[in-house]
Amino acid sequence: MSVIIPVYNAEKYLEECLQSVLAQTFVDFEIICINDGSTDHSLEILKQYAKNDSRIKIIDQQNKGVSAVRNAGLAIAKGAYIGFVDSDDTIENDFFEKLIDNAENTKSDAVYSKLSANHNLGGFSGEIESPQILQNLLPQFFMQDNLNSVCIKLFCLKIINDHNIRFPVGIKHGEDAQFNIEFLMKANRISFLDYCGYHYRQVEGSATRNITRHDYLKRMVEVYETDWTSIIGSSIDQDRMENLKKIRFANAVISLVYIYGNRGNNFTDAQRFSKLSEIVQHPTVKKVFSEPQILRELKLGKYAEAIFRNIKKRNILILYLLTQYSYYRNR
């Protein structure tokens, strides 16, 4: 198999990541590390490890972003299966052995594992085959983000190469989802493994930096307005697709209200009110939240439902107070 590791200014955690991959009980694999224009000592760390283990291959390139990095790895990968590990994360030493054993025993084109012990794999277990993949699994990727990560999965390289499946370049969020969707359109069998062996590291402060640096509302609208016809054809009828995208968009907006409104970020109160106003006044938000059936579809808890109703009413003060209440209650 081939393990693809994108590396960008990862010197703080890179060695821990590499050690966890090198410690795998399954040993017949190559590690493709793509240094994406790092300005710290990441490349030197990679070269030192490559001296001691011939399974490590290094691509050194100018900064192009994670999609281009993963695509560069796919272009030279030689394993029957592909796995992805991010350079600040770690994996259990039996992670790939369990996924490969499952893929071979079930003859599956991809294996999905869990990101945490309570991670819900969309309610799926065992194996599903086409057409259930298109009827039941594919819609999940338009309704939620729960299954998006490629790092908790194993993929058949032959399907990827035969159909030239690649990560989209030029978008900042959602590249995993498109790769997954294109793969599902060609897969014959998907297996779901009740196992958590991938450890995602939430780098301290990253969430705060990201909300000030990225326009998440703009990206949510772009995702909602994306036309998937060229990729999925008529696999999902237009009315169902529209409904799935509305559910995803509404849930994302509710989450964004909390992120922007609570005191866990570096915004001033004036900035929080400004962000909340921007959300509730956005034409797409107004359109989706005004539809009478959407609240029934969402199946929200009391707090989230209160957020929903006050987005719909465009009551910024109540939204602000709700986010403060939730922040202090959960501290």
Question: Looking at 84-93, 246-255, 322-331, which range is the least confident one?
Answer: 322-331
The closest of 60, 14, 17, 16 to 35, measured between CA atoms, is 60
Domain boundary among 155, 170, 199: 199
Dihedral over Cα of 216, 88, 153, 83: its sign:
positive
Which whole number is the average pLDDT over 228-238?
Answer: 93
Residues 26 and 161 in one domain: yes
CB 100 within 8 A of CB 211: no
Domain boundary among 199, 224, 248: 199
Would the pLDDT of 203 be above 90?
no
Residues 161 and 51 in one domain: yes
High-pLDDT (> 70) share of the chain, %: 95
What pLDDT sits at residue 212? 54
Give 290's Cβ-side CA count (13 Å radius): 9
- Chain segment 17-39, per-residue pLDDT in tens: 999 999 999 999 999 999 999 99
Would the pLDDT of 183 be above 50?
yes
Q: pLDDT confidence of 206, banded at 50, 70, 90?
A: very low
Which whole number is the average pLDDT over 100-125?
Answer: 94
Residues 195 and 212 in one domain: no
What pLDDT sits at residue 175? 83
- Chain segment 52-100, per-residue pLDDT in tens: 999 999 999 999 999 999 999 999 999 999 999 999 999 999 999 999 9
> Which has more confidence, 90 or 330?
90
What pLDDT sits at residue 210? 56
What pLDDT sits at residue 267? 86
> Which has more confidence, 264 or 231?
231
**Residue showing tokens 């579809």:** 297
Domain boundary among 199, 215, 236: 199
User: Whole domain around residue 195: which residue ranges?
Assistant: 2-199
Residues 140 and 234 in one domain: no
Residues 224 and 177 in one domain: no
Would the pLDDT of 213 be above 70?
no
What pLDDT sits at residue 83? 98
- Chain segment 120-145, per-residue pLDDT in tens: 898 899 999 999 999 999 999 999 88
Would the pLDDT of 269 be above 70?
yes
What pLDDT sits at residue 205? 41
Length of the chain: 331
Please give the tally of structural domains in the chain: 2
Across all residues in the chain, what is the average pLDDT?
92
Residues 297 and 168 in one domain: no
- Chain segment 150-163, per-residue pLDDT in tens: 999 999 999 999 99
* 264 CB burial (10 A radius; 0-12, 13-18, 19+): middle
Q: pTM of the entire structure?
A: 0.90
Residues 213 and 252 in one domain: yes
| Distance (Å, whole) CA 87 – CA 33 | 9
Secondary structure (3-state) at 281 = coil
High-pLDDT (> 90) share of the chain, %: 81
